[in-house]
Amino acid sequence: MADRVMKIASERAVVVFTLSSCCMCHTVTKLMADLGVNALVHELDRDARGKDMERALLKMLGGRGPAVPAVFIGGRLVGGTNKIMSLHLAGELKPMLQNAGALWL
């Protein structure tokens, strides 16, 4: 299942795996939109194999914390809400997005 996650994660410069009912997922996808990023949002609860993918994401994240949101930038797993917000507040998220081709500013 990790192969399927990585295949989807490579489809666009920014991919966010979410659950439609997750408020933190909404926060992260809203941040990406506000920054001007056209992220691919893959809602696991709308995917027939979503539960298996969620378990694979949890394993990829080290088995701790929630599996979603899981943010991939440039095909690489960056992390969840805490990591993305920390990078944003430190001014490191925008350069990362630019390097991945997700921002042109």
Element (H, E) at 33: helix 23-34
Q: Look up residue 22 and give its DSSP letter.
A: -
Predicted pLDDT at 59: 95
pLDDT tens string 48-61: 999 999 999 999 99
Overall average pLDDT of the 73-93 stretch: 97
- Domains in the chain, number: 1
Question: Cβ(24)–Cβ(69) under 8 Å?
Answer: yes
Q: Give the global pTM.
A: 0.96
- Domain span holding position 82: 1-100
User: What distance in Å separates the CA atoms of residue 62 and residue 52, rounded to the nearest whole number?
Assistant: 16
CATH of the domain at 11: 3.40.30.10
